[in-house]
Amino acid sequence: MKTNKPVELRKGLIASSLFLAACFLFNLSLLLLQAGPSRGETAEGQSRDFVVNPYIQLGNNPSLMTREKLDLVWFSLDPDGPWQVRYNKRAIEPRETRRVGMMAGHPFFKHVATLDGLLPGNQVVYEVTRKGRTVYTGSTTARKSRDQDFSFAVFGDTGAGSFGQRKVAFQCFQKKPNLLVIPGDLVYDRGRVSEFLSRFFPILNSARAGLNTGAPLMASTLTMAVLGNHDVANCDYRGTDLNRYPDALGYFIFFEQPLNGPVRIANSRNSTPLSGSAENQLDFIKAAGKNFPATANYSFDYGNSHWLILDANGYMNWNDNQMLDYVRKDLKKSKAVWKFVSFHQPSFSVDRVHFTEQRMRLLCDIFEKEGVTAVFSGHAHNYQRSYPLKFAPNRNKTDGKAIMNADGTVDGELSLDQKFDGQTNCSPRGVIYIISGAGGAALYARADAPPEAQRFNKVFKGDCHSFTYCSVKGKQLRFTQVSEDGDELDSFSVTKGSQP
């Protein structure tokens, strides 16, 4: 039986063995051989205490604090400890240890420890111990305050298990960004837990840094995730079939992110649609906890920037008044110097594969009105930068709603700021749309479209994997696109408050 009715958790819900056993029908010893870094390798030696090494998350802490918090997350096959995290002369136990699945007949556990009382911008050295034995050491930086400089990196479409993915992770790690945003398609092909364990964490959270291995990027860098089409186990947006893929939607299992989005009930309007038996749906919801569906859309602050993260998959209705109000209110209430938006499917792309997917143009005029500097997307496996632009979608004369055509395109009035060069003129008139989708998946060529249809594009690089690196110093932002070999592909600056 299939159902798409709203499903809410009830107390006492017991996860069935169907979901738990089906999640990981592969041999554990083979996994550990293939994904060596997931064994918890540390400077002190190798350990089999971890299925996923510890990594840094923001948790449900969207706003800046005088004393910051970070979540440290790891996964193991054994809940028995005692587990402890030592940092800043403190020793704490995980605030959460719960079973989320099965691996080769063994229960699979998620552990979350909250590091609190952190001074903004300070280095935090942490140790994870089990039964009094140090099994992992790492360090990170507490979230920066409004008056502290910071850096961030962006790359999407990454979890392909490719050499390019390893090189991008390593080069990004060398830059030491304070924040990493991954704009969708975190892992291929279906966003399954098993795929995260084999193609994502062994590279982006490798125990050792190297061009052939990846890097312990997530152990040191606060990482924020965005939901892509491959992260919901389908490309046609008909729903995630939990009968066919019982370990799908790993996004909601692995990432601890703010719960300030507008959608809280599974299978409600504008949530990732679930299909499959009611039993399987309930089992997934229990495993995901509060994260599903809330973390598909959320926002957070970092330094003097505000970030709005949106689900751009095809089941979303971005003409829905509830969603439009959420975007408007979230951006309007922020007093941050820099406002950034990230979603997977780009508003403006000249790639050959996704040229007509333009649904997120429905929000362009809101971004312009509320002072967004840049929008970061993926989906197109290349790097693209638009001119600063303003776009007003055509609207229905009856209800005033923006119009999306049957083929997914959105027509409207486009104006470009072609005087902005990011060198001598650093004050863009409009929003800059960035596609940083060359994080590891097979690269895409440029579209065979008329020049008029591509006139918004300023820079296109589709012949190498790459990532975005930005440094923010007060009202100055320096943007660089870096190749998998560490070469500069593009660069420009933006200054707030200056006049061209």
Question: What distance in Å separates the CA atoms of residue 205 and residue 213, rounded to the nearest whole number?
Answer: 10
Single residue among 121, 141, 161 that ends a domain in this structure: 141
pLDDT greater than 50 at residue 449 = yes
Helix ranges, 408-480 (H) = none
Same domain, 364 and 221: yes
pLDDT digits (tens, 9 = 90+) for 106-142: 788 999 999 999 999 999 999 999 999 999 999 999 9
pLDDT greater than 70 at residue 24 = no
Q: pTM for this one?
A: 0.91
18 versus 354: the higher-pLDDT residue is 354
Same domain, 157 and 135: no
Residue 11 located in a structural domain: no
Taking the mean position of all CA atoms in its chain, how far away is CA 158?
Answer: 11
Residue 375 located in a structural domain: yes
41 versus 311: the higher-pLDDT residue is 311
- Name the token pair of 352: 């050959």
Percent of the chain with pLDDT over 70: 89
Taking the mean position of all CA atoms in its chain, how far away is CA 172?
Answer: 15
395 versus 11: the higher-pLDDT residue is 395
Same domain, 447 and 485: yes
Residue 500 located in a structural domain: no
Residue 1 located in a structural domain: no
Least confident of 76-80, 145-149, 159-163, 425-429: 76-80
pLDDT greater than 70 at residue 247 = yes
Q: What is the mean pLDDT of residues 213-221?
A: 98
Single residue among 99, 116, 141 that ends a domain in this structure: 141
83 versus 32: the higher-pLDDT residue is 83
Question: What distance in Å separates the CA atoms of residue 136 and residue 122, rounded to the nearest whole number?
Answer: 20
Q: State the Cα angle at 345 between 339 and 286, rounded to 5°.
A: 90
Same domain, 137 and 162: no
Same domain, 294 and 328: yes
Question: What distance in Å separates the CA atoms of residue 368 and residue 374, rounded to the nearest whole number?
Answer: 10
79 versus 249: the higher-pLDDT residue is 249
Same domain, 108 and 35: yes
pLDDT digits (tens, 9 = 90+) for 74-95: 999 988 889 999 999 999 999 9
Q: What is the mean pLDDT of residues 17-23?
A: 36
Residue 219 located in a structural domain: yes
pLDDT digits (tens, 9 = 90+) for 53-66: 999 999 999 999 99
Residue 93 located in a structural domain: yes
Residue 398 located in a structural domain: yes
Q: Residue 338 in contact with residue 306, Cβ under 8 Å?
A: yes
CATH of residue 69: 2.60.40.380
CATH of residue 417: 3.60.21.10
Least confident of 56-60, 167-171, 283-287, 419-423: 283-287
- Residue 40 binned pLDDT confidence (cut-offs 50, 70, 90): very low
Question: What distance in Å separates the CA atoms of residue 319 and residue 414, rounded to the nearest whole number?
Answer: 20
pLDDT digits (tens, 9 = 90+) for 365-413: 999 999 999 999 999 999 999 999 999 999 999 999 999 999 999 999 9
Domain span at 479: 150-495
Of 127, 69, 72, 60, the residue nearest 97 (C-alpha): 72
Question: What distance in Å separates the CA atoms of residue 327 and residue 486, rounded to the nearest whole number?
Answer: 36
Same domain, 184 and 92: no
Same domain, 457 and 478: yes
Same domain, 134 and 82: yes
Same domain, 95 and 155: no
**Number of separate domains in the chain:** 2
Same domain, 342 and 359: yes
- Residue 427, Cβ density class (10 Å: 0-12 exposed, 13-18 middle, ≥19 buried): middle
Single residue among 141, 173, 192 that ends a domain in this structure: 141
Bridge partner list, 306? 301, 339
pLDDT greater than 70 at residue 47 = no
Q: What is the mean pLDDT of residues 322-334?
A: 98
Mean residue pLDDT across the chain: 90
- Residue 498 binned pLDDT confidence (cut-offs 50, 70, 90): low
Least confident of 28-37, 216-225, 337-346: 28-37
Q: What is the mean pLDDT of residues 457-471?
A: 98
pLDDT greater than 70 at residue 30 = no
Q: What is the mean pLDDT of residues 178-203?
A: 97
Residue 5 located in a structural domain: no
pLDDT greater than 70 at residue 20 = no
Same domain, 210 and 319: yes
